[in-house]
Amino acid sequence: MDEELKKKFDNLLKLQEVEIETASVQARLAGFPRLLTDLDARLKASEGAVTLASGRLSEIQQTYRVQEADAKVIQTRIVKSEEKLRAVKTNKEYQSSLKEIDDLKRSLSAVEDRMIAHLDEMDQVAASVATKEDEVKLLSREIEEEKEQIRQSALSAQEQLDRLNDERAQIIAVVEPDLLKVYETVKQNSGGVAIAVVKNAVCLGCHVNLPPQMFHDLLHFDTLLVCPHCERLIYPATE
């Protein structure tokens, strides 16, 4: 085995490992804004539930106020009808006034029944609003804690990325330009991974067996070889 070539190739392997790790960290960093957006959406949905419940409560309260006004109008009409009853002079007028008063009292009773039903509904919806508001407060605290954890993770990932970029620069500084150019070309043509390890004559990049003579030459490792199937640079497994 050509020790000088092995040393050069080891640097390329380190470069590939750093670049793969860098891509992983970059993917994590790219995902953090989405995590924050999802948390905001959760809180907004919870706040929306409060808004809907509060809106329903306002509707019921408005309806109740209208019914309360209707009840007062009917009560006033009943009082006037009862005053009118005391002044009637004929039996026909008397019966007519009694019927009018009975009709008004039935109308008042129906309105009051609806008012009672709306009072019960108001209590239920008001309790629901209070519960949902408590849930929003709790969720808001939880989300803020999660956001802080995400921000800390993002800072840590950025620090890791900076270290990896420095390490990559150090490796590139000791790799021969021609070899680096080969590496970059193969990486671009093979979807981002330029080097594949070969173990037991199988390329672990494409999982296809190498021709026997090529595998034999690879074990001597005195020249750069490329997998005939995936076209990656190949390297014999050390274990």
Q: pLDDT of 31-80, one tens digit each?
A: 999 999 999 999 999 999 999 999 999 999 999 999 999 999 999 999 99
Give the pair of three-digit tokens for residue 174.
């000791």
Q: Which residues of 163-180 are buried (b: 16+ CB within 10 A; e: fewer)?
A: ebeebbeebeeebeeebe
Q: Which helix (H) or strand (E) holds 236?
A: strand 233-236
The mean pLDDT of 138-159, rounded to a whole number, is 97
- pLDDT tens across 167-200, in order? 999 999 999 999 999 999 999 998 889 999 999 9
DSSP label at residue 15: H
- Residue 86 confidence (pLDDT): 86
Sheet hosting strand 208-209, strand order edge to edge: 208-209, 202-203, 195-199, 233-236
What is the rounded CA–CA span in Å between residue 202 and residue 209?
Answer: 4
pTM score: 0.73
- Residue 238 confidence (pLDDT): 77
- pLDDT tens across 200-211, in order? 999 999 999 999
Burial of 70 (0-12, 13-18, 19+ CB in 10 A): middle
- pLDDT tens across 2-39, in order? 788 888 889 999 999 999 999 999 999 999 999 999 99
- Residue 6 confidence (pLDDT): 86
What is the rounded CA–CA span in Å between residue 208 and residue 191?
Answer: 17
All structural domains of the chain: 21-175 (1.10.287.1490), 176-239 (no CATH)
What is the rounded CA–CA span in Å between residue 184 and residue 12?
Answer: 10
Indicate if the pLDDT at residue 1 is higher than 70.
no
- Residue 221 confidence (pLDDT): 87
